[in-house]
Amino acid sequence: MYMANILAEVPEQFSIHIGILLLLGIGVLGGALGAWFFQKIRVPQVVGYIVFGILIGKSGLKLLGDLDIEQLGAFTWFALGIIGFLVGGELQIKTFRQYGKQFINILLWEGITTFLLVGLICFGVVYLVTHNAMAALATGIVLGAIASATDPASTIEVLWEYRAKGILTTTIIAIIALDDALAMTLYGVGTSCAEMLLGNSGSILSQCAKVAFDLFGSIGFGLVSGLVLIALVRYLHQSNERILAISVGTLLVVIGISDAIEFDVILVTMSMGFLLVNLAPRYSEKLFKVVKSFSAPIYVMFFVLVGARLGVGNMPLWLWGIVGVYVLCRSAGKIFGCYMGAKLSGAPITVQKYSGLGIFAQGGVAIGLSIMASHHMGHIAVTDDLSLGEVIIAGVTTTTMFVQILGPSLTKLSVKLGGELGCDITEDDLMKTYKVQNVMEVECDKIPQDTRIKELLYAFSVSDSLFYPVVDSEERLMGIITIDGIKRTFAHQRTAEWLLAHDVMEEVPDKVDPNMPLAEAMELMDRAQLDNLPVVDKASRMLKGVLSRRSVKRKLGAEVLRRGEAVG
């Protein structure tokens, strides 16, 4: 018992001496290692970030305490702003013109169904415990409104990680983008109703006016900020470094103002990204690429902080019951609501079946709303030991822990079942997953070492190859012959009658194994400034083929085109 008390005190004492920079270093490095481990077991890397955060946070070693998380609050807003900005960049007007009715139908069905289902069941559980109908109804309304929110950060991270593309992916992105606005509306009206039920002053009309101001004010501010960013990039950009500085600087100013005037950061920056991609497509592609390349460590630390703040205290058994029914009803509401909305709007079968799984995650938006609810209703008692605010905070935080760990894997499963995994892929992405044997030319022009020069010259005349491996009788690589090498040989010798291929071949500058990663092999070719390399089995030294830069580009380009055509 004594040792347990000492261990419980160590993290608190330890955190006093750990500075913010060291905490950031631990978070980014540990999160990256966690992501690497989870990717090895075929789980989305975002789960690794969150699990590492749980390990060092309130539910684990307490290396990151409440004070540290509060000090890093500005960093969290910055990360959410970048996420919102990049999500907005995925939303194009032409897509909404084509699928707008479908998106709105799915959004309303999944959001309202989840709100009603979670609200009714949670009302029932709280009423059975407290026998206070008003308190139970208020709890159900607030939890139902919060349950409608979807986490855009982890969902979009999974879609980017697995290069998903297609109508299902487009639908998921549109829903998580619009879901923030719907959740704010339901929450605003819901909390107003809850306060009225509990005898507090206030009107639904005034609350609706406030929600409308926050909603349209956030969107309007984002659109104006987007126009400013377009003007800055259009007239001042010269290099990637300057674009990055202008973009990040503008985002920081906009996020800071949004936080100060209490606008929704995600909606503001999402509106900026939306305006940029639709009004300035020529500049937006480069800008989003630069910002995205800069944002990786920010994502890592953001999700580590998400995990760190997830804590499970000594909750009563009935509150665990609320957690259980909340998760089940929210999942059912999302899946059923998406199915009905998609079916009634005539969406493709893949959208009907799998879009609900894709929006399973719950994160920062829900936790933010629960904190706001606790401030409004923290003084209202539900039981002798717990206030309504404490019930909401504990319930939402605990459900978020479970849902955030399960959500990314279900998003991956959704796009996998929909056949859209890996469809938004580039040649560089393919190169990282391929081995040399996937693209090498097996049927290459091999020259036996005892071939006479006359025969060799004839072979050159009927082939368009510029690179010829020389092999012995057992197909082992002995050297290479190139057109340039032949020219150099005959510039100094007049012995074509009796020379053999073995006499004019050159030493092999380098070679690769069939199982070598393609990216590593191409890097080797770049360093040596070569266009061809022989592919040789390490054990037997037998020639297996030739790695040609031209052939690699052709095969990778064809695969990118094939995957793009597969999803229309």
pLDDT of residue 241: 76
Final residue of a domain: which of 424, 449, 469? 424
Q: Which two tokens stand for residue 6?
A: 């000492």
* Interatomic CA distance for residues 31 and 51, integer angstroms: 8
pLDDT of residue 501: 63
Q: Between these two residues, 507 and 543, which has the higher pLDDT value?
A: 543
* Confidence bin at 499 (pLDDT 50/70/90): low
pLDDT (mean) for 231-235: 82
Q: How many CA atoms lie within 13 A of 429 on its CB side?
A: 15
506 within a domain of the structure (yes/no): yes
351 and 436 inside one domain: no
Phi, psi of 448 (to 5 degrees): -60, 145
Using DSSP's 3-state secondary structure scheme, residue 468 falls into strand
Please report the DSSP string for 377-419 in residue order.
HTT-BSSSS-BHHHHHHHHHHHHHHHHHHHHHHHHHHHHHHTT
pLDDT of residue 109: 93
pLDDT (mean) for 494-515: 66
* Confidence bin at 11 (pLDDT 50/70/90): very low
Q: Which two tokens stand for residue 72?
A: 């890093």
Q: Are 161 and 44 in contact (CB under 8 A)?
A: yes
**3-state helix vs strand vs coil in the chain, percent to 5:** 70, 5, 25
29 within a domain of the structure (yes/no): no
126 and 59 inside one domain: yes
Angle at 248 between CA 243 and CA 249, to 5 degrees: 100
pLDDT of residue 338: 93
DSSP 91: -
DSSP H helical ranges for 41-147? 45-56, 66-71, 73-88, 93-130, 133-147
* Confidence bin at 117 (pLDDT 50/70/90): very high
Q: Which two tokens stand for residue 263?
A: 């606008």
471 and 392 inside one domain: no
pLDDT digits (tens, 9 = 90+) for 44-85: 888 888 888 888 887 778 777 777 777 777 777 888 888 888
pLDDT of residue 500: 64
* pTM: predicted TM-score of the whole model, two decimal places: 0.70
Q: Are 85 and 253 in contact (CB under 8 A)?
A: no
Q: Per the structure, how many domains does the chain have?
A: 2
> Strand 447-448 vs strand 467-471: parallel, antiparallel, or unpaired?
parallel
1 within a domain of the structure (yes/no): no
pLDDT of residue 123: 86
DSSP 452: B
Final residue of a domain: which of 401, 424, 447? 424
Phi, psi of 310 (to 5 degrees): -80, 110
Using DSSP's 3-state secondary structure scheme, residue 506 falls into strand
* Confidence bin at 560 (pLDDT 50/70/90): confident
DSSP H helical ranges for 237-295? 240-260, 265-279, 281-294
Q: Are 18 and 24 in contact (CB under 8 A)?
A: no
Q: Are 204 and 250 in contact (CB under 8 A)?
A: no
CATH of residue 559 = 3.10.580.10
pLDDT digits (tens, 9 = 90+) for 404-430: 778 888 988 998 898 888 776 766 767
pLDDT digits (tens, 9 = 90+) for 97-108: 888 889 899 999
7 within a domain of the structure (yes/no): no
367 and 440 inside one domain: no
Q: Which two tokens stand for residue 533?
A: 């390399």
5 within a domain of the structure (yes/no): no
User: Of 125, 40, 559, 548, nearest to 317 (Cα)?
Assistant: 125
* Interatomic CA distance for residues 466 and 281, integer angstroms: 42
Using DSSP's 3-state secondary structure scheme, residue 434 falls into coil
CATH of residue 222 = 1.20.1530.20
Phi, psi of 421 (to 5 degrees): -70, 130
* Interatomic CA distance for residues 143 and 319, integer angstroms: 13
Q: Which two tokens stand for residue 449?
A: 């070492």
User: Of 346, 401, 336, nearest to 154 (Cα)?
Assistant: 401
354 and 475 inside one domain: no
Final residue of a domain: which of 424, 446, 465? 424
User: Of 445, 416, 426, 451, nearest to 519 (Cα)?
Assistant: 426
pLDDT digits (tens, 9 = 90+) for 15-47: 444 677 888 888 889 888 988 888 888 878 888
* Interatomic CA distance for residues 333 and 316, integer angstroms: 26
Q: Is the CA virtual torsion 189, 195, 197, 203 positive or negative?
A: negative
Please name the residues in contact with 226: beta carbons below 8 A apart, sequence gap of 6 or more.
Answer: 271, 272, 273, 274, 275, 276, 279
pLDDT digits (tens, 9 = 90+) for 539-552: 777 878 788 787 78
385 and 527 inside one domain: no
Using DSSP's 3-state secondary structure scheme, residue 448 falls into strand
146 within a domain of the structure (yes/no): yes
Using DSSP's 3-state secondary structure scheme, residue 66 falls into helix
284 and 415 inside one domain: yes
User: Of 55, 88, 57, 87, nearest to 72 (Cα)?
Assistant: 57
| Residue whose pair of structure tokens reads 């992105």 in the numeric block | 173
331 and 302 inside one domain: yes
* Confidence bin at 113 (pLDDT 50/70/90): very high
pLDDT of residue 4: 37
439 and 416 inside one domain: no
Q: How many CA atoms lie within 13 A of 300 on its CB side?
A: 20
Top-ranked range on mean pLDDT: pick from 341-345, 364-368, 434-438, 492-496: 341-345
pLDDT of residue 26: 86
pLDDT of residue 466: 65
442 and 362 inside one domain: no
262 within a domain of the structure (yes/no): yes
* Confidence bin at 376 (pLDDT 50/70/90): low
The amino acid at 457: L
142 and 197 inside one domain: yes
562: left (phi over 0), alpha (psi -120 to 50) or beta: alpha
100 and 210 inside one domain: yes
Query: Is pLDDT above 80 for 561?
Result: no
| Residue whose pair of structure tokens reads 């559980």 in the numeric block | 125
Angle at 454 between CA 453 and CA 459, to 5 degrees: 90
**Mean pLDDT computed over every residue of the chain:** 78
* Interatomic CA distance for residues 564 and 556, integer angstroms: 12
Q: Is the CA virtual torsion 48, 50, 51, 55 positive or negative?
A: positive
Phi, psi of 180 (to 5 degrees): -60, -45
Q: Between these two residues, 384 and 38, which has the higher pLDDT value?
A: 38
| Residue whose pair of structure tokens reads 């539910």 in the numeric block | 59
Q: What's the 3-state SS for 50-64?
A: HHHHHHHCCCCCCCC
9 within a domain of the structure (yes/no): no
Query: Is pLDDT above 70 for 249?
Result: yes
Q: The domain containing residue 87 runs over which residues? A: 45-310+319-424
pLDDT of residue 333: 92
